[in-house]
Amino acid sequence: MKSGSNLEKVFEKGEFALTGECGPPRGADLEVVKEKAKHLVGYVDAVNVTDNQTSIVRMSSIGASKVLIDMGLEPVMQMVCRDRNRIAMQSDIFGAYALGIRNMLCLSGDHQIFGNQQDAKNVFDIDSIQLINVVHTMREEGKILGGDDIDGKPEMFIGAAANPFGDPFDFRPIRLAKKVAAGVDFIQTQCIYNMPKFREYMKRVVDMGLHEKCHIMAGITPLKSLPMAKYMAKKVSGIDVPQEILDRMKGVEKKKRAAEGIKLAIEQIQEVKDIEGVDGVHLMAIEWEKKVPEIVEGAGLHPRPQVS
Amino acid sequence: MIVGERKPLEEIIESLEGAEKVLVAGCGTCVAICMAGGEKEVGMLASELKMAAKLRDMKIEVSEATAQRQCDKEYLDTLKDDVKGKDVVISMACGIGVQYMALNYEPMRVVPAVNTDFLGANLDVGEWAEYCQSCGDCVLADTGGVCPIARCSKSLLNGPCGGSADGKCEIDPETECAWQLIYDRMKALGRLEKLTEIRPPRSWKTSRDGGPRRLVREDQKA
């Protein structure tokens, strides 16, 4: 065992893993976190806690992760390279581990132009691949950047993201290989709507043998409505929503679109489950956490494996 | 070259508060080429100030002069007679020229008329783009001649983030993705293998982060 986290144990047992997501509130209200997270208890193996996603100021990922631990949920603390230099990041990794956080996800982070602090100085002292290696070196060698020894190794289960739909497409598997070489344990992909393209990506990944060196989780986000589908298609960079998905949402009457979105998500989960190299699903029910039980049950992924 | 653009007239007038005799001082190098603060722009700003003075009943006497370079003492000295007796010098140079003018003509009040934007290339008539961030540790040999520090919005060193789409950056559809350019160039050069290597965290000590930089060349001093 590298970290002994629940998520790691699920993978070790050879089970198909399932993670959820919880976006912290735009303020200090703990109840918001608790309300969102309660729907996930017993339905996922771990829960991603976003780090000021889309550059909007929110409760810190570390803080909200600790709230989840207290509720009996296992967090995956996200950490972006946008806001902190290597001093603050390494310090926060120590702090997070001391609070009981055992999984983390290393990300570049959305540029601050998307958020509510557009005048901020961006940091990007290190990038996501370098961050993976920092966490890996802490765990495996007990050293921080520069080589100093540490008192008490933070033994994190190390995750990162991959976007099979970003350009240049041919470079995407190479970038994944770099993350593997840097020491990543698991990968969560960007939301998948273009299934043929995802299949092609996975084929290349499997040909390179990368699926044997890390656990790949397919990203699924249920569509709540037609405007959401259009927003994902047009406004979110790096997300590829094919016309047929938009047509499918448009094809049902307005009242039934949420149900159609859930049906689609369940079908997508069943589809990715059969793709070689996919070891789990990362279910991002954005501001729709209460639907997670229905999706998980519908996809036949409930109950979750008991590993501890 | 250093690329700059003229400040709005209002901001310049505000910075002149209390001054009666002003010199508009141009710089004949970078800012002249990017048409922000050369001799021609000096003439235009001086006219605008004179007109504003007339319309607003301001007591202000405007004169003009341009040095070949304001970042060089030898050239700055040529403005000696023009600076003499003035209340304020409006420097139309980049931030370097403004400061060097102030230092060389102490205790003269020197105000800027140009915002210094970036180090860039002239892409087309009236169009410039940032190409260098003067980070002090050039990586261009390994990136196909495209700088990821200056031209990637996140200064990433190990490839494009997930926001690269159709050759553009996630921040704006007009901004090229530097890593798409790097990938294309390295592919054309037959050097894609180089991009599979992990670049470790770099030292920013050579950049501004190490404190204000200074270069001393003993070979030149002797």
Q: Are residues B139 and B177 in the same domain?
A: yes
pLDDT of the residue at B23: 98
Which residues from chain B sit within 8 angstroms of residue A130, using beta carbons?
Answer: 157-158, 198-201
Q: Are residues B103 and B171 in the same domain?
A: no
User: What region does A200 belong to: left with phi over 0, alpha with psi -120 to 50, or beta?
Assistant: alpha
Mean per-residue pLDDT, A172-193: 98
Q: Are residues B62 and B92 in the same domain?
A: yes
Residue B173: domain span: 135-202
Mean per-residue pLDDT, B23-48: 98
Q: Are residues B19 and B114 in the same domain?
A: yes
Which residues from chain A sit within 8 angstroms of residue B199, using beta carbons?
Answer: 130
Low-confidence winner among A61-75, A90-104, A223-237 (lowest mean pLDDT): A223-237
Instruction: Give chain A as a 3 state SS string.
Output: CCCCCHHHHHHHCCCCEEEEEECCCCCCCHHHHHHHHHCCCCCCCEEEECCCHHHCCCCCHHHHHHHHHHCCCCEEEEEECCCCCHHHHHHHHHHHHHCCCCEEEEECCCCHHHCCCCCCCCCCCCCHHHHHHHHHHHHHHCECCCCCECCCCCCCEEEEEECCCCCCHHHHHHHHHHHHHHCCCEEEEEECCCHHHHHHHHHHHHHCCHHHCCEEEEEECCCCCHHHHHHHHHCCCCCCCCHHHHHHHHCCCHHHHHHHHHHHHHHHHHHHHCCCCEEEEEECCCCCHHHHHHHHHHCCCCCCCCCC
pLDDT of the residue at A236: 85
- Name which of B161, B199, B201 is nearest A108 (Cβ-Cβ): B161
pLDDT of the residue at A235: 85
Mean per-residue pLDDT, A48-60: 97
Q: Which of B50, B84, B118 is the last residue of a domain?
A: B118
**Total domain count, chain A:** 1
Residue A308 — pLDDT band, cuts 50, 70, 90?
A: confident
pLDDT of the residue at A25: 97
**Total domain count, chain B:** 2
Which residues from chain B sit within 8 angstroms of residue A126, using beta carbons?
Answer: 201
**Would you say residue B22 has pLDDT above 80?**
yes
Between chains, do A126 and B201 touch, taking CB under 8 Å as contact? yes
pLDDT tens, position by position, B74-124: 999 999 999 999 999 999 999 999 999 999 999 999 999 999 999 999 999
Mean per-residue pLDDT, A14-38: 96
Find the CATH number of the domain harbouring A196.
3.20.20.220
- The answer to the question of residue B197 being in a domain is yes
Which residues from chain A sit within 8 angstroms of residue B154, using beta carbons?
Answer: 81-82, 108-109, 111, 122, 124, 127
B164 touches chain A (CB under 8 A): yes
Which residues from chain B sit within 8 angstroms of residue A133, using beta carbons?
Answer: 198, 200
Mean per-residue pLDDT, B176-201: 98
- The answer to the question of residue B54 being in a domain is yes
Residue A184: domain span: 6-298
**Would you say residue A8 has pLDDT above 90?**
yes
Residue B222 — pLDDT band, cuts 50, 70, 90?
A: confident
In the three-class reduction of DSSP (H, G, I as helix; E, B as strand; rest coil), residue B20 is classed as coil
- What's the token pair of residue A127? 């990038």
Place of tokens 């001799």: B39
- The answer to the question of residue B154 being in a domain is yes
A253's CB contacts (< 8 A; 6+ apart) are none
**Would you say residue B179 has pLDDT above 80?**
yes
> In A, what residues contact B, Cβ < 8 A?
81-82, 86, 108-111, 113-114, 122, 124-130, 133-134, 145, 161-163, 165-168, 170-171, 174-175, 177-178, 181-182, 190, 237-238
- The answer to the question of residue B8 being in a domain is yes
Between chains, do B165 and A237 touch, taking CB under 8 Å as contact? yes
**Would you say residue B37 has pLDDT above 80?**
yes
List Cα–Cα distances, B118 to A121, A179, B34, B212, in angstroms: 16, 33, 11, 17
Q: Are residues B114 and B140 in the same domain?
A: no
User: Mean pLDDT over all residues of chain A?
Assistant: 97
> Which ipTM was obtained for this model?
0.95
Mean per-residue pLDDT, B214-219: 95
Between chains, do A167 and B161 touch, taking CB under 8 Å as contact? no
Mean per-residue pLDDT, A206-212: 98
- The answer to the question of residue B127 being in a domain is no
Report helix angle A226-234 to A257-273, nearest 10. Answer: 50
**Would you say residue B3 has pLDDT above 80?**
yes
Report the C-alpha gap between B79 and B66 in whole angstroms. Answer: 8
pLDDT of the residue at B19: 96
Mean per-residue pLDDT, A132-141: 98
- The answer to the question of residue A88 being in a domain is yes
Instruction: Spell out a b/e string for B37-65, using b for 16 or more CB atoms within 10 Å of the CB, else e.
Output: bbeebbeebbebbeebbeeeeeebebebb
**Would you say residue A132 has pLDDT above 90?**
yes
Mean per-residue pLDDT, B8-16: 97
**Would you say residue A215 has pLDDT above 80?**
yes
- Helix (H) or strand (E) holding B144, with range, is none
Q: Are residues B22 and B60 in the same domain?
A: yes
Query: CA-CA-CA-CA torsion for A82, A87, A91, A93, nearest 10 degrees?
Result: 50
Residue B53 — pLDDT band, cuts 50, 70, 90?
A: very high
- The answer to the question of residue B30 being in a domain is yes
**Would you say residue B132 has pLDDT above 90?**
yes
- The answer to the question of residue A215 being in a domain is yes
Q: Which of B86, B118, B150 is the last residue of a domain?
A: B118
Distance of CA B209 to the CA centre of its chain: 19
pLDDT of the residue at A230: 95
Q: Are residues B57 and B112 in the same domain?
A: yes
pLDDT of the residue at A237: 78
Percent of residues, chain A, with pLDDT higher than 90: 98
Report the C-alpha gap between B131 and B147 in whole angstroms. Answer: 7
Mean per-residue pLDDT, B146-158: 98
Q: Are residues B64 and B152 in the same domain?
A: no
Question: Measured on CA atoms in the order B52, B55, B58, B59, is the torsion positive or negative?
Answer: positive
Mean per-residue pLDDT, A3-26: 97
**Would you say residue A108 has pLDDT above 90?**
yes
Percent of residues, chain B, with pLDDT higher than 70: 100
Ordered strands of the B114-124 beta sheet:
B2-6, B114-124, B127-132
Mean per-residue pLDDT, A2-9: 98
- The answer to the question of residue B212 being in a domain is no
pLDDT of the residue at A161: 98
Residues 119-158 of B with CB under 8 A from A: 153-158
Q: Are residues B106 and B174 in the same domain?
A: no
Report the C-alpha gap between A221 and B195 in whole angstroms. Answer: 32
- The answer to the question of residue B66 being in a domain is yes
Contact B78, B104 (CB under 8 A): no
Q: Are residues B91 and B6 in the same domain?
A: yes
Chain A and chain B share a number of CB contacts under 8 A equal to 98
pLDDT of the residue at A192: 98
- Name which of A113, A130, A165 is nearest B201 (Cβ-Cβ): A130
Report the C-alpha gap between B132 and B148 in whole angstroms. Answer: 9
B180 touches chain A (CB under 8 A): yes
Q: Are residues B114 and B40 in the same domain?
A: yes
- The answer to the question of residue A125 being in a domain is yes
Q: Are residues B15 and B98 in the same domain?
A: yes
- The answer to the question of residue A308 being in a domain is no
Report the C-alpha gap between A77 and A24 in whole angstroms. Answer: 11
Find the CATH number of the domain harbouring B93.
3.40.50.2300
Percent of residues, chain B, with pLDDT higher than 90: 98
In the three-class reduction of DSSP (H, G, I as helix; E, B as strand; rest coil), residue B49 is classed as helix
pLDDT of the residue at A254: 95
Mean per-residue pLDDT, B20-47: 98
